[in-house]
Structure 1
Amino acid sequence: MEITYEIVKDEDVECCREVCNKLMAYQKSLAHYRPELFDDMNFDTRMLSSVKSSTHNFTVVAKADDKIVAYVYSNIAPKENYDNEFATFFDLSTVRNDDVGCLSNFYIEDGYRGQGIGSVLFNMSMEWLKGFPHVEDYFVFVSNGNDKALEFYQNKGFQYSNKVLDGFITTLRYADRVEASKPLQAK
């Protein structure tokens, strides 16, 4: 089976609705701490709102037979976006510049995992993120229970930074900018 990769324009991210909603359901199915927080998380509240509030967006889909089987969404956004009514995701005082890079949504459908698709999407995202010279801090946020994702990102150079919402989320920071901080709580 041939996998093709396509960059999606911001105005066309609607094509990711189904796979993004699958990501939210998958994360909830793995969560052992506060899975009910996923009840209000979906394409509209997570991906679409992020696309609208970010300065730059990068979405790539992986397709098998014209069906989307995986996607990644990354963004460049003001660091203040990550200190909101839901939570504070990292210590803003440790970020050198006004903007941060974030590998925000990443999902591969069951049956397509373990075939290298994740590495291709990850590499495309990191190459894009590193194309912004004013951005020096890169983050990924892993939901509790998703140990395979945590291990994947750590194998790719991300390291533990802090816990959010008593461990609902683990913040990982790209290794050249890791500065551990105390757990961050809800507002």
Structure 2
Amino acid sequence: MNLTYEVLSEKEMEACRDLCNELMVFQKSKAFIKPELFDGMNFDTRMVPSIKNAAHNYIVVVKDAGKTVGYVYSNISPKKTYSNEFATFFDPTTVATEMVGCLSQFYIQEEYRQYGVGSVLFKMAMEWLQQFDDVQDYFIFVSNGNDNALEFYKRKGFSVSHDILDGFITVLRNKEYFENESVS
């Protein structure tokens, strides 16, 4: 393996299209609660609107000899963004500041898992989020059935806050991530 990590601009988000679509198929394959909700989810309906609605975006891809094999997408968004026609992701009255940080999408092709790629991408995302002094709340949303991801985020210091959509999504939160946890 010859892995490299590359930060992309918003204009380069197209490089994540295939992997984002793979992520939606992967999530549906794991889901046991409302898997049909994934039928309309893809790059154009998930990543593009998220990037457009965010105040700040951070996209990192990992490549093996030039082939994109994984990515992480994080953003800083107004808390009001997380209450929409799909769901209310968290109670906005529990968030003291106007903006929240979110690790929004994270996917690594199966053959590249277990090599530390996820930890590198996670660390890069958390270090980027740490730059924003006006953000105190950090969220990760995990689809049902994706137990490996849920356990990964717990090991990284996040804890389950609540479920939404009858358990379709588990909301993880770490209100004071950088005060209580070291990013390692």
Normalization by structure 2: what TM-score? 0.95
Distance (Å, rounded) in 2 between the aligned partners of 1:32 and 1:166: 11
1:55 aligns with 2:55: yes
Determine the structure 1 residue equivalent to 2:17. Answer: 17
State the 4+ residue runs in structure 1 displaced beyond 3 angstroms.
none
- Structure 2 equivalent of residue 81 of structure 1: 81
What root-mean-square deviation, in Å, do the aligned CA atoms of Structure 1 and Structure 2 show? 0.8
1:27 corresponds in structure 2 to 27
Count of residue correspondences? 177
8 Å contact from structure 1 (residues 4, 63) kept in 2: yes
Aligned-pair distance for 1:174? Answer: 1.3
Gaps of 5+ in 2: 178-184
SS at match of 2:59: strand
Match of 2:146 in 1: 146
- Which residues in structure 2 correspond to 1:105-116 (within 5 Å)? 105-116=105-116
Gaps of 5+ in 1: 178-187
Is this contact kept in 2: 1:159–1:175, CA < 8 A?
Answer: no
Deviation at 1:176, TM superposition (A): 3.2
| 1:116-163 deviation per Cα after TM superposition (whole angstroms, max 9, x unaligned) | 000000000000001000001000000000000000000000001110
Aligned positions of 1:126-145 closer than 5 A: 126-145=126-145
Is contact 2:142-2:169 (8 Å) kept? yes
How high is the sequence identity, in percent, across the aligned residues? 59
Measure, in 2, the Cα distance between the counterparts of 1:152 and 1:175. 18
Aligned residue number for residue 174 of structure 2: 174
Q: Provide the C-alpha distance between the structure 1 equivalents of 2:139 and 2:97, rounded to a whole number of angstroms.
A: 14
Determine the C-alpha separation between the residues in 2 that align with 1:160 and 1:175: 12
1:41 and 1:130 map into 2 onto residues whose CA distance is 29
